[in-house]
C-alpha cells in the first residue's frame, strides 16, 4: 500500500516541477513575443504559488526592467539578493539599474557582490569596466574643472574615455 502512494507522490512532484518549468518557458516566450503584460501576469501567478522560485522572480525583474518599471524591478532584484545572496545575476541587474540612475558607487558595490559569487561572470565583469570608466570620467571632469595650468593630458584622457561606446551606463543584464 505504501509503494503506490510513494509512486503517486513522486509523479505529483515531477508534474509540479514540470509545470513550473513550463510556466517559466511560457513567460519567457510571452516576453520575447512582446506581450510583457501577459508575461508579468503569469510570473505573478507562479510566484504566488511558489514564492521561493528564484528563476521566476528573476524573470519578473527582467520583465519589469524591459517595461520601464525600474523602481519595481529594483525591489525584485534587491529581494532576490536578500533571499538568495549566493546568486550573481540579481546583483548584476541591480548594478545596471543603479548605474542607469547615476548611482555609480551603489552599482560598483553590487557588481563586486556579483563577482564575489562568480568571479568569471562575463556581464558583471563588463559592467564593472563600464562603471570604473564612468567613475574615471567623473573624476577627470572634476579635476579638469578646477585645474590650473596645463590640462592637455587630462583633457586627452577625457576625450578618449568619452569615445568609448556605452561608457557611462552599463547595459548588460545577467
User: What is the reported pTM?
Assistant: 0.80
| Average pLDDT, consecutive stretches of 10 residues, N- to C-terminus, the chain (174 residues) | 44 45 93 97 98 98 98 98 98 97 97 98 96 94 86 91 67 65
Q: What does 30-70 look like in DSSP terms, one character per residue?
A: HHHTT-HHHHHHHHHHHHHH-TT-HHHHHHHHHHHHHTT-H
Q: What pLDDT score was predicted for residue 172?
A: 62
Distances in Å between the alpha carbon of 138 and those of 106, 132, 143, 161, 168? Answer: 15, 10, 9, 11, 10
Amino acid at each position: 500500500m505504501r509503494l503506490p502512494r510513494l509512486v503517486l507522490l513522486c509523479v505529483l512532484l515531477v508534474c509540479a516541477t514540470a509545470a513550473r518549468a513550463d510556466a517559466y518557458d511560457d513567460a519567457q516566450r510571452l516576453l520575447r513575443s512582446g506581450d510583457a503584460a501577459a508575461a508579468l501576469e503569469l510570473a505573478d501567478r507562479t510566484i504566488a504559488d511558489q514564492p521561493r522560485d528564484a528563476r521566476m522572480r528573476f524573470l519578473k525583474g527582467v520583465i519589469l526592467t524591459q517595461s520601464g518599471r525600474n523602481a519595481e524591478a529594483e525591489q525584485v532584484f534587491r529581494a532576490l539578493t536578500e533571499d538568495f545572496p549566493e546568486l550573481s545575476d540579481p546583483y548584476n541587474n541591480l548594478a545596471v539599474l543603479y548605474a542607469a540612475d547615476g548611482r555609480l558607487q551603489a552599482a560598483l558595490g553590487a557588481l563586486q557582490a556579483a563577482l564575489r559569487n562568480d568571479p568569471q561572470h562575463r556581464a558583471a565583469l563588463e559592467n564593472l569596466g563600464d562603471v570604473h570608466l564612468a567613475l574615471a570620467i567623473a573624476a577627470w571632469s572634476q579635476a579638469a574643472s578646477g585645474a590650473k595650468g596645463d590640462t592637455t593630458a587630462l583633457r586627452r584622457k577625457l576625450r578618449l574615455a568619452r569615445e568609448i561606446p556605452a561608457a557611462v551606463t552599463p547595459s548588460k543584464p545577467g
